[in-house]
Structure 1
Amino acid sequence: MASGPAPDPFDDLLNLEDRFYDEGFCQGEADGTRAGQIEGRTLGLENGFKKFVESGRLHGKAVVWANRLSLGQSQEERDRHQLPALPRNGRLQKNVRMLYALVEPGTLSTANTDEAVNDFDDRVKRAQSKARVVEKMLHELATPGTVSGPSSSAVSRERNASSTGTPPPSA
């Protein structure tokens, strides 16, 4: 009874490289998966922190502006405050209220779902826009005439054009 050819004692040595490669691949894949999860979590925490810092910054601005609005404060109350009161302006009050509503901490969702993250990002972007509007309004109110006149870039273009002898570009 022939049992077939005897096993070659060098087969294990010839397959040694393949076996080490497979073991190394499996270990590398497991380590890479774990490292990727750690790196992804760290990146997510960093991005979330940045978003909430921006939300907090906007919330702080809204609170300060709301407190500076002169809504029924007596002269004595205004004198106690270090920051000057903002003038009465319905549009300014509406924008400050809207800004505060957009970044009010109690209404911002911290859920880790696509819908909640998109809603948070949308609200922060809208709040940034409202903050820019309020900042521009306050700048207009603080220094009237600067915004309604020609812009500084248009004035500088006219000056450059007159010094070079070329006509300014028509708008």
Structure 2
Amino acid sequence: MAALLNSEVSLPDIFDDVLNLESKWVSSGVEQGCIDGRDQGIAEGKLLGSKVGRKMGEELGFYDGFCNTWLVIAELFPGTVDRRALRSLESMQEKLAEIPAENVEGVDFEGKIQLVRAKFKVVNSLLKTNVKYQPQIQEQVQQPPADFSF
């Protein structure tokens, strides 16, 4: 005890760690919360990206199949598809090819898809067909986990 009193350590210095304990735990909790939040955000982002990508792929696949079918019909049966419709089909095929298969930063996916949709309407009209895209993938409502709380 005498050594403690004679040392250069003052009484307030001894309790600094105890006094700062709360702020240390808060800092540690904030840091861990940020890490957990980032990990959860990445997982949710992957799930959302998968859903959106699947829907986009289904729609673009429909337009691509429609376009390719009519191009094959035009090739196998010359004269069944007029030149204007054929040019529009080829233009639609080019617009479909411009959409990247992976998520590229800076690419206006929605704008490119809108162009394909517009071209589809034109082709549909020129071919005098009444084909409509109807989504087949139904969005499933995901229930939160049982231990979900705020």
Q: Shorter-normalised TM-score: what interval?
A: 0.5 to 0.7
Q: What is the root-mean-square deviation of aligned Cα atoms in Å? A: 3.2
Q: Distance in 2 between matches of 1:67 and 1:4?
A: 90
Q: Which structure 1 residue ranges, 4+ long, deviate > 6 Å from structure 2?
A: none
Q: Give the letter aligned to residue 58 of structure 2.
A: V
Evaluate the alpha carbon distance shift between residue 131 and residue 7 of structure 1 in structure 2; reply closer, same or farther with a 3 A threshold.
same
**SS at 2:37 equivalent:** helix
What TM-score, normalized by structure 2, do the two folds share?
0.62
How many pairs are equivalent?
125
Equivalences for 1:1-171 in 2 at 5 Å? Answer: 3=8, 5-7=10-12, 11-69=16-74, 73=77, 87-104=80-97, 108-115=99-106, 117-118=107-108, 121-139=110-128
CA distance in 1, matches of 2:115, 2:89: 12
Normalising by structure 1, report the TM-score: 0.56
Aligned partner letter, 2:83: G
> Given the superposition, is the C-alpha separation of residues 122 and 10 from structure 1 closer, same or farther in structure 2, using an over 3 Å criterion?
closer
Unmatched 5+ stretches in structure 2: 1-5, 131-150
Change (3 A) 1:136 1:52: same
Q: Which runs of 5+ in 1 are unaligned?
A: 75-85, 143-171
CA shift, 1:93, in A, is 1.5
Classify 1:8/1:130 alpha carbon distance in 2 versus 1 (closer, same or farther; 3 Å). closer
Q: Distance in 1 between matches of 2:76 and 2:35?
A: 65
Larger radius of gyration between Structure 1 and Structure 2:
1
CA distance in 1, matches of 2:76, 2:12: 99
